[in-house]
């Protein structure tokens, strides 16, 4: 059973608009969430994270929102740029986990930003 779900395999957005990528999780033990970006032929790159004690975390054009009651998080990219075109992975783990050991990843959403 998938514990972290990214239900949209792909998303297309125009340059300058907002991109919203969604992620749902089922395990109540998860309380730390991350987003990674992956370009072809490269490994995933850490983008932004959020702890369950927060409901929002911002870093430049990237904002992650967490709705614990709905077990849902989303990544907003504003404004979207062509260079943002990549696969985005949502990952979740327990706060007391060890780096890399307890992270569960979603299957990814491919974002395409057209100019």
Partner 1 sequence: KAGVTQTPRYLIKTRGQQVTLSCSPISGHRSVSWYQQTPGQGLQFLFEYFSETQRNKGNFPGRFSGRQFSNSRSEMNVSTLELGDSALYLCASSPGGLGGSAYNEQFFGPGTRLTVL
Q: Which residues bind partner 1 (CB under 8 A)?
A: 31-32, 34, 36, 41-46, 49, 51, 89, 91, 93, 95-108
Nearer to partner 1 (CB atom), residue 20 or residue 104: 104
For residue 65, the minimal CB distance to partner 1 (Å) is 17
Are the C-beta atoms of 16 and 56 separated by less than 8 Å? no
Determine the 3-state secondary structure of 110 from DSSP: strand
Nearer to partner 1 (CB atom), residue 15 or residue 58: 58
For residue 74, the minimal CB distance to partner 1 (Å) is 18
Tell me, rounded to whole angstroms, the distance of Cα 67 from its chain centroid. 13
For residue 21, the minimal CB distance to partner 1 (Å) is 14
Sheet containing 19-25, strands listed edge to edge, beginning at the edge strand earlier in sequence:
4-5, 19-25, 72-77, 62-67, 56-59
């Amino acid at each position: 059973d998938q514990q972290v779900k990214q239900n949209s395999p792909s998303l297309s957005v125009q340059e300058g608009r907002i991109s919203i990528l969604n992620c749902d999780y089922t395990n109540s033990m998860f309380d730390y969430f991350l987003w990674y970006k992956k370009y072809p032929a490269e490994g995933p790159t850490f983008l932004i994270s959020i702890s369950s004690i927060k409901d929002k975390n911002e870093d430049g054009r990237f904002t992650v929102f967490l709705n614990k009651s709905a077990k849902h998080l989303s990544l907003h990219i504003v404004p979207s740029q062509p260079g943002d075109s990549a696969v985005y992975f949502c990952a979740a783990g327990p706060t007391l986990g060890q780096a890399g050991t307890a992270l569960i990843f979603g299957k990814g959403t491919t974002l395409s930003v057209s100019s």
